């Protein structure tokens, strides 16, 4: 089965009708759709999933679920999916059509008997919120089904079952999270995967139906008080599920608020930066203080080093450099005397300015603004400094040494105790000390400018609003964390309540007729379980072989004879009891289990990729595979392996949505013989379309 053609009409970035030919053959099974981030790769994948499954897209990918939750509900989410240009043209409908070919179809009266294809179309009207699904014959264009339920069943039975869709349409980077599942969760995942791919889920559904029938038979014979207890437990379970749903909806709203607050914070940061008098934004203040603290630590380390050197002066210092420092200190001392006089004058000026501007009396009806007052205040300071400074007695120094009298005396005494062997050590120490002093001085100046900004009323207002937004963002994150804790508790409550419910049911005194029915039904369940176990056992060995074989091909730690025995040596698949699915164990050369959580992110992606390949190999029909972020968290060597050795052998139709940093022009060339078609998404600033070729290829220049 293949998805041969897709037509997207006014869906998200795609304006009017955009057609994409996805036909492949056995030798050229790969289609690559390239594009920069934000150009519409993920939305192209979303369009396909939505066309097939509509409102149930949240069951296929958590990303889709989160997007819907952000918009509060499915209808609101879809309402936002109409193309912006189309919306401005007052169009109110978007649609996606998929031509599906090479499928085995039942005999349907409305379907051309020679056809192996159908066209599935889903349409959404944003005005009346009406969604329509149609399945038609591509030759006659006739609708095949009238009933909505029949259409959904047809897709699940003959196209791709919704429960198998998560293994057909996925983000390779995110699916690696499966490796973090617990044994029970992983067992359930593998069980579901095999079930959906092999069609075994039908039997699981039958078992559930029969178990439900048995429980109802048991309840019929229960005493009134016991029936009430059973009903109470069932109600408690349902209420817990409702509470979980409410908490998840609240989390979705909080996530949307967090997104909005993040944008608000970014806006205020920009406003603060734009309105800063000195070009320094207040949000840099913390980083400046942090850097100054680091410099203080460095200064302390260098001072200690000075002390160490002073103890071995004959081996630690250089005469010429010390003399230079000594001269520097003498100039510094003269400057200090000069500055002392200037300081006295400055204090008088400051006192005069304070009396002039900030002490009464003031003019009647004074309306001088804070900014004006600050301007004249600074101007008076500058004029006073020019008039009373002792420039002639002052020599400009790039920096000043912060040394006490003992340090100065030490330098003076050391001049006569020099050994040239320590020249490099001491000179480097002096150089580093000087650099620290200069940087510290520069940061002090910057900090002063930032603090001056803080006195600006507009900057203060922006900073206050930004702080409020950051506080609200933190509170929302705390709330989400609290809700998640409640959700976990409620889920545990449901498990406990189900156990209690089972205990009550076991206490029911069942009549003879119902006992017979239950006995026969249980036999039916046992037969179904036995059949399922046989099917799983049948596929167990091939799963082990495929997973191990793929791991040895793809993981670079197994890429050479030298390393082949130092990582994964064997794979064991164990069928778990009580319908809990399967457990996969990775073993090293000593038969010790390798914990999957110990694998790197890239190794986890490789492992899950091998698992998916193994599961798909067990399928009775070839399924198309659509993969977003195909090389995700992989390092370069793993990327090369999975590009050249995995995707060409994965399926008869593999569609990859990639950036040029994942599938580079070089990697594209490496698999060019396996590529049927390639497209490059381009955006004109408003809408996205496709052209033939890939980044920097001949087709695309």
- The single-letter DSSP state of residue 565 is T
What is the pLDDT at residue 81? 92
Task: Please report, rounded to a whole number, the percentage of residues in the chain having pLDDT higher than 90.
Answer: 15
So what's the pLDDT on residue 366? 61
Q: Please compute the mean of the pLDDT values over residues 155-180 and round it to a whole number.
A: 79
Indicate the pLDDT class of residue 282, thresholds 50, 70 and 90.
Answer: very low
Instruction: Tell me the pLDDT band of 53, cut-offs 50, 70 and 90.
Output: very high
pLDDT in tens, 514-528: 667 777 888 888 888
pLDDT value for 686: 83
Name the residue with higher pLDDT: 306 or 293.
293
Mean pLDDT of 405-417: 58
Q: What pLDDT is recorded for position 559?
A: 41
652, 34 in Cβ contact below 8 A? no
Distances (CA, A) of 42 to 39, 631, 656: 9, 15, 11
State mean pLDDT over 484-508. 80
Of the candidates 665, 654, 664, 686, the one whose C-alpha atom is nearest the C-alpha of residue 169 is 654
The two counts, helices (H) then strands (E), for the chain are: 19, 13
Does the structure show a pLDDT above 80 at 562? no
Q: Note the Cα 236 to chain centre separation in Å.
A: 35
Query: Which residues are bridge partners to 587 per DSSP?
Result: 570, 593
**400 — pLDDT class (breaks 50, 70, 90):** low
Would you place residue 298 in the very low, low, confident or very high pLDDT band (cuts 50, 70, 90)? confident
Q: Which of the four pLDDT bands, split at 50, 70 and 90, describes residue 653?
A: very high
pLDDT band for 403, please (50, 70, 90 cuts).
low
> How far apart, in Å, do the first and last CA atoms of the chain sit?
33
Question: What confidence tier does 14 reach under pLDDT thresholds 50, 70, 90?
Answer: very high
Q: What is the pLDDT of residues 97-152, one digit of tens each?
A: 999 998 877 665 566 556 688 999 999 999 999 999 999 988 888 888 888 888 99
Q: Are 399 and 334 spatial neighbours (Cβ–Cβ below 8 Å)?
A: no
Peptide linkage before 361 cis (omega within 30 of 0) = yes
- Average pLDDT for residues 260-281, to the nearest whole number? 71
C-alpha to C-alpha distance for 85 and 14, rounded to whole angstroms: 9
User: Per-residue confidence at 373, pLDDT binned at 50, 70, 90?
Assistant: low
Whether pLDDT at 389 is above 60 = no
Q: Among residues 82, 295, 46, which one has the least CA distance to residue 171?
A: 46
Matching residue, tokens 């293994």: 167
pLDDT in tens, 607-623: 888 888 888 887 767 78
How many other C-beta atoms lie within 10 A of the C-beta of residue 278?
12
Contact 666, 652 (CB under 8 A): no
Query: Whole-prediction pTM value?
Result: 0.57
Task: For 451, list phi and psi in degrees, rounded to 5.
Answer: -65, -35
What is the rounded CA–CA span in Å between residue 306 and residue 570? 60
Mean pLDDT of the residues in the chain: 76
Distance of CA 221 to the CA centre of its chain: 53
Closest CA to 205 of 579, 636, 518, 689: 579
In the structure, what pLDDT confidence band is assigned to residue 673 with cuts at 50, 70 and 90?
A: very high
Mean pLDDT of 600-610: 81
Give 208 or 181, the one with higher predicted confidence. Answer: 208
Residue 603 has pLDDT above 50, yes or no: yes
Look at residue 576 and tell me whether its pLDDT is greater than 70: no
């Amino acid at each position: 089965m293949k998805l041969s053609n897709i037509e997207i009409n006014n869906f998200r970035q795609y304006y009017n009708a955009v057609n994409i030919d996805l036909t492949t053959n056995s030798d050229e099974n790969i289609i690559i759709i390239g594009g920069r981030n934000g150009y519409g790769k993920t939305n192209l994948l979303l369009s396909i999933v939505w066309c097939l499954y509509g409102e149930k897209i949240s069951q296929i990918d958590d990303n889709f679920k989160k997007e819907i939750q952000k918009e509060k509900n499915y209808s609101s989410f879809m309402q936002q999916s109409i193309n912006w240009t189309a919306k401005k043209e007052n169009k109110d409908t978007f649609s996606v059509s998929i031509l599906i070919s090479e499928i085995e179809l039942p005999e349907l009266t409305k379907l051309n008997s020679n056809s192996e294809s159908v066209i599935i179309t889903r349409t959404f009207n944003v005005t009346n919120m009406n969604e329509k699904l149609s399945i038609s014959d591509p030759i006659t264009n006739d609708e095949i089904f009238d009933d909505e339920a029949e259409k959904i069943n047809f897709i699940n039975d003959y196209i791709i079952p919704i429960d198998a869709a998560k293994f057909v349409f996925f983000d390779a980077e995110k699916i690696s999270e499966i490796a973090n599942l617990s044994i029970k969760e992983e067992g359930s995942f593998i069980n579901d995967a095999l079930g959906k791919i092999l069609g075994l889920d039908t039997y699981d559904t039958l078992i559930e139906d029969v178990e439900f029938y048995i429980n109802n038979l048991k309840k019929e014979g229960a005493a009134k008080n016991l029936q009430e207890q059973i009903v109470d437990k069932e109600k408690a379970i349902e209420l817990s599920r409702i509470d979980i749903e409410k908490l998840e909806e609240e989390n979705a709203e909080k996530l949307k608020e967090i997104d909005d607050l993040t944008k608000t914070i970014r806006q205020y940061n920009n406003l603060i930066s734009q309105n800063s008098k000195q070009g320094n934004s207040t949000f840099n203040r913390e980083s400046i203080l942090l850097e100054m603290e680091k410099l203080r630590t460095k200064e302390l380390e260098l001072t200690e080093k000075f002390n160490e050197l002073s103890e071995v002066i004959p081996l630690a210092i250089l005469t010429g450099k010390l003399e230079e420092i000594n001269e520097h200190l003498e100039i510094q001392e003269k400057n200090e005397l000069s500055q002392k006089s200037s300081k006295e004058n400055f204090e008088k000026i400051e006192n005069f300015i304070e009396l002039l501007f900030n002490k009464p009396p003031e003019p009647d009806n004074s309306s001088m603004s804070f900014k004006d007052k600050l301007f004249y205040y600074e101007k008076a300071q500058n004029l006073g400094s020019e008039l009373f400074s002792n420039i002639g007695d002052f020599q400009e120094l790039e920096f000043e040494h912060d040394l006490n009298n003992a340090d100065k005396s030490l330098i003076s005494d050391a001049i006569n105790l020099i050994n040239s062997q320590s020249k490099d050590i001491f000179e480097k120490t002096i150089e580093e000390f000087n650099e620290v002093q200069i940087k510290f001085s520069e940061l002090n100046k910057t900090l002063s400018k930032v603090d001056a900004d803080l006195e600006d009323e507009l900057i203060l207002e922006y900073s206050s609003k930004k702080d409020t937004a950051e506080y609200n963002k933190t509170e929302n994150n705390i709330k989400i964390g609290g809700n998640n804790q409640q959700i976990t508790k409620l889920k545990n409550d449901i498990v406990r309540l189900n156990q209690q419910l089972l205990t009550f049911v076991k206490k029911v005194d069942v009549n003879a007729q119902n006992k017979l029915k239950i006995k026969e039904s249980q036999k039916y369940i046992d037969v179904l379980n036995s059949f399922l176990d046989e099917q799983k056992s049948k596929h167990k060995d091939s799963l082990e072989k495929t997973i191990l074989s793929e791991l040895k091909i793809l993981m670079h730690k197994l890429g050479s004879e030298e390393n082949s025995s130092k990582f994964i040596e064997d794979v064991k698949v164990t069928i778990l009891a009580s319908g809990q699915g399967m457990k996969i164990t990775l073993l090293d050369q000593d038969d010790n289990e390798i914990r999957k959580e110990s694998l790197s992110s890239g190794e986890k992606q490789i492992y899950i990729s091998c698992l998916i390949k193994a599961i798909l190999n067990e399928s009775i029909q070839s399924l198309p595979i659509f993969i977003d972020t195909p090389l995700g968290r992989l390092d370069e060597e793993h990327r090369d392996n999975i590009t050249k050795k995995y995707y060409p052998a994965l399926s008869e139709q593999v569609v990859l949505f990639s950036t040029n940093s994942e599938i580079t022009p070089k990697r594209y060339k490496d698999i060019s013989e396996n590529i049927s078609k390639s497209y490059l998404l381009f955006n004109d600033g408003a809408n996205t379309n496709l052209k033939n070729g890939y980044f920097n290829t001949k087709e695309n220049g």
